């Protein structure tokens, strides 16, 4: 299935590769005789402007799992997979307004470092190990595998060589230059990936429209795959490949309204709010305002992403299922044997590039794919080295480490991570939709991540022991639910695990005796906005739980049980707000946050309102 790159394609792609490496090495160069500091290497010396923050966030996020994996899910399931992108756009508003300002105010390098300052070393180390395992064995492996799959299907590069090549290429400048190289090359990468992605989408829609343009193509796409344009997927309506030659219910991957009411929020809040290789870009911003504006900018880019990655997957489904081999042969003016077929969903995007993107432009389109892959790998490599160095090496092995020793440690662990990923990545070849593999296995830790971080940020009662046991219980609870309810969609399973973790954290926190005087205590509480809000959330949570019980059976086919997670979340918010002002004592390490920190200017508020409006309209038009 080799694409037969033309000389022009190779030139375009080679120019891209040379420019990226050159930019990465140039922006991260050091003056003669001057060693890089830890802040320069791990946080780009806190120099990123708002547009660099936004661009770098998206470049780190958009990867092979999107161009290959999300397109594969678009091919198999349809527009419903865009929920990950559109819910993320709203999540970025929450992160920008409530999470990132606290992190920046406390001047932290890593997420585990925040946990150490809020709780203790035990909690910090537990999450540092969590993240290192996820980055190396899930993120680095899946992204390099999907990228190598594209190289194999488009250029004929053997899978193992492709994995090695991508990891080495992304490591060249990221290991040498640190976050400075990663962030500023990301600005270039995001331009390339959006431009190249739009070109591929245009050509795919033009093909679906029989050469009559993208408007006709979009109309034909909707008519030819109407069942693919559904955001809320009921049980039993769409069957998709299971990766082992059979079929499974698409409800398993996207269980109805759980994408709006349930654990889709845990996935997004955990990823965008507390994931080191994402939030590190915000931590490197020049100012809190630059960080906030950067995340709003990224929110608008997230709304755009399904146009680049989901629509091409649906177009591939229409082209290969609604056209006969003879029609495709005439359309492309080549023998059908040369066109090939799509054996696995994740082959949809490479198949489009191979057949519908002409020579010359194919080099640009593939450069966009490579930009997405390399930028994400570089960010993951950098964050792996940051967490290991700042939260393991400096804490346990060399507390007095110099800047030079910290940078050397970061570079060494990055090389080790690359080698491990090279060995593990080929094992993913048996999967049909690697994007779902990523979501499910990161889903084992996100309930605990969200519970511990959010409570640590905003609840004065949660203790170090409560946080530690919540973290410890996270993965076992997920495994137990998987064993007992193997057919339960993982998004629903995550919701139930989250409820259990909230109970564990609450019971332990309330059972521990505290002597530290709560500085926010108000005996009367009259006129307190926190107290009024607590009553609102408690009532909302109880109403949601009651509706869930009453309608459980009738609406079971659309995953309405996810409302129980929403109810638990509302009740917990109410409990946090109530106890923050009504309990006399608190955990001694609880945070005192000035509400002024959460104030946002009119441009931010208008930008946030625009994101919410657009996402709301998209769900309205494509609900079911």
Q: Residue 582 in contact with residue 39, Cβ under 8 Å?
A: no
Confidence of residue 1 (pLDDT cuts 50, 70, 90): very low
d(CA 464, CA 469): 9
Residue 32's pLDDT is: 53
Confidence of residue 221 (pLDDT cuts 50, 70, 90): very high
126-165 b/e (C-beta count within 10 Å ≥ 16 → b): bbbbbbbebbbbbbbbbbbbbbbbbbbbbbebebeebbbe
Nearest to 82 by CA among 293, 305, 248, 359: 305
Residue 189's pLDDT is: 75
Question: For the chain, what percent of residues have pLDDT higher than 70?
Answer: 91
Using DSSP's 3-state secondary structure scheme, residue 282 falls into helix
Strand partners, 247: 241
Least trusted range by pLDDT, from 50-64, 89-103, 569-583:
50-64
Residue 184's pLDDT is: 72
Using DSSP's 3-state secondary structure scheme, residue 583 falls into coil
| Residue-by-residue DSSP string for 373-425 | HHHHHHHHHHHHHHHIIIIIIIIII-TT--HHHHHHHHHHHHHHHHHHHHHHG
Q: Which carries the bigger pLDDT value, residue 486 or residue 1?
A: 486
Average pLDDT for residues 227-231, to the nearest whole number? 91
Write the pLDDT tens digit of every residue in 404-421.
888 888 888 888 888 888
Q: Which carries the bigger pLDDT value, residue 400 or residue 241?
A: 400
- Per-chain mean pLDDT for the chain: 85
Write the pLDDT tens digit of every residue in 444-464.
888 999 999 999 999 999 999
pLDDT over 50 (residue 584): yes
Write the pLDDT tens digit of every residue in 236-273.
888 887 666 778 888 988 899 998 998 899 989 998 99
Query: What letter would DSSP give residue 136?
Result: I
Write the pLDDT tens digit of every residue in 268-315.
999 899 988 788 788 888 888 998 999 999 999 999 999 998 999 999
Write the pLDDT tens digit of every residue in 509-550.
999 988 899 888 887 666 578 888 999 999 999 999 999 999
Write the pLDDT tens digit of every residue in 180-202.
677 777 777 788 878 888 888 99
Write the pLDDT tens digit of every residue in 343-392.
888 788 888 888 888 877 878 777 777 777 777 777 788 888 888 888 88
Q: Residue 428 in contact with residue 145, Cβ under 8 Å?
A: yes
Average pLDDT for residues 131-141, to the nearest whole number? 83
Write the pLDDT tens digit of every residue in 382-391.
888 888 888 8
Write the pLDDT tens digit of every residue in 74-126.
998 999 999 999 999 999 999 999 999 998 888 887 888 899 999 988 998 98
d(CA 415, CA 330): 49
d(CA 456, CA 285): 23
| Tokens of residue 57, six digits | 């966030």
Q: Which carries the bigger pLDDT value, residue 223 or residue 404?
A: 223
Residue 30's pLDDT is: 61
| Tokens of residue 180, six digits | 């400075």
Confidence of residue 4 (pLDDT cuts 50, 70, 90): low
Alpha helix locations (H) across 248-287? 258-261, 264-274, 276-283
Nearest to 113 by CA among 393, 300, 397: 393
Residue 3's pLDDT is: 47
Residue 564's pLDDT is: 95
User: Radius of gyration (Cα) for the chain, nearest Å?
Assistant: 24
Q: Residue 551 in contact with residue 560, Cβ under 8 Å?
A: yes
d(CA 58, CA 499): 31
CATH superfamily of 7-24+56-458+594-623: Sodium/glucose cotransporter (1.20.1730.10)
| Tokens of residue 233, six digits | 């997927």
Average pLDDT for residues 48-58, to the nearest whole number? 86
């Amino acid at each position: 299935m080799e694409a037969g790159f033309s000389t022009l394609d190779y030139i375009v792609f080679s120019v891209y590769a040379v420019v990226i490496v050159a930019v990465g090495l140039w922006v991260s160069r050091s003056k003669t005789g001057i060693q890089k500091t830890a802040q320069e290497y791990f946080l780009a010396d806190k120099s990123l402007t708002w547009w660099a923050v936004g661009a770098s966030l998206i470049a780190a996020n958009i990867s092979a799992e999107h161009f290959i994996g999300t397109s594969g899910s678009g091919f198999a399931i349809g527009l419903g997979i865009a929920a990950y992108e559109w819910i993320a756009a709203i999540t970025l508003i929450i992160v920008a307004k409530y999470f990132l300002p606290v992190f920046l105010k406390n001047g932290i390098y890593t997420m585990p470092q925040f946990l150490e300052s809020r709780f203790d070393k035990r909690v910090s180390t537990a999450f540092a190990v969590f993240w290192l395992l996820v980055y190396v064995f899930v993120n680095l492996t899946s992204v390099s595998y999907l990228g190598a799959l594209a190289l194999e299907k488009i250029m004929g590069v053997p899978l193992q060589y492709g994995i090695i090549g991508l990891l080495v290429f992304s490591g060249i400048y990221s290991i040498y230059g640190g976050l400075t190289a990663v962030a500023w090359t990301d600005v270039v990468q995001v331009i390339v990936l959006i431009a190249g992605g739009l070109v591929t989408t245009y050509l795919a829609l033009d093909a679906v429209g029989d050469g009559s343009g993208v408007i006709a193509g979009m109309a034909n796409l909707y008519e030819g795959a109407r069942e693919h344009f559904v955001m809320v997927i009921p049980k039993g309506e769409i069957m998709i490949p299971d990766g082992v030659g059979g079929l499974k219910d698409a409800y398993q991957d996207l269980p109805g309204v759980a994408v709006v009411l349930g654990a889709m929020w845990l996935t997004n809040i955990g990823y965008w709010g507390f994931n080191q290789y994402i939030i590190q870009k915000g931590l490197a911003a020049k100012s809190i305002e630059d960080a906030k504006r950067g995340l709003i900018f990224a929110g608008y880019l997230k709304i755009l992403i399904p146009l680049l990655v989901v629509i091409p997957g649906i177009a591939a489904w229409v082209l290969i299922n609604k056209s006969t081999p003879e029609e495709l042969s005439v359309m492309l003016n080549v023998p059908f044997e040369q066109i090939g077929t799509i054996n696995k969903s994740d082959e949809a995007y490479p198949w489009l590039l191979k057949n519908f993107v002409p020579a010359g432009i194919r080099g640009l389109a593939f450069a966009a794919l490579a930009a997405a892959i390399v930028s994400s790998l570089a960010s993951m490599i950098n964050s792996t080295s940051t967490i290991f160095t700042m939260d393991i090496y400096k804490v346990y092995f060399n507390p007095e480490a110099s800047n030079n020793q910290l940078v050397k440690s970061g570079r060494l662990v990055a090389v080790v991570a690359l080698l491990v990923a090279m060995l593990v990545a080929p094992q993913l070849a048996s999967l049909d939709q690697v994007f779902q593999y990523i979501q499910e296995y990161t889903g084992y830790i996100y309930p605990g991540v969200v519970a511990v971080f959010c409570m640590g940020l905003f609840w004065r009662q949660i203790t170090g022991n409560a946080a530690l046991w919540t973290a410890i219980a996270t993965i076992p609870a997920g495994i137990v639910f998987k064993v007992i309810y193997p057919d339960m969609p993982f998004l629903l399973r995550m919701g139930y695990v989250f409820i259990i973790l909230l109970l564990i954290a609450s019971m332990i926190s309330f059972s521990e005796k505290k002597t530290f005087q709560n500085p926010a205590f108000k005996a009367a509480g009259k006129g307190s906005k926190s107290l009024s809000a607590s009553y609102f959330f408690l009532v909302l949570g109880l109403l949601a739980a009651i509706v869930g019980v009453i309608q459980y059976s009738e609406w079971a086919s659309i995953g309405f049980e996810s409302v129980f997670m929403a109810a638990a979340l509302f009740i917990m918010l109410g409990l946090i707000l109530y106890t923050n002002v009504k309990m006399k004592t608190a955990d001694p390490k609880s945070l005192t946050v000035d509400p002024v920190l959460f104030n946002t200017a009119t441009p931010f508020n208008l930008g946030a309102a625009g994101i919410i409006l657009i996402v709301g309209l998209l769900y309205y038009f494509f609900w079911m």
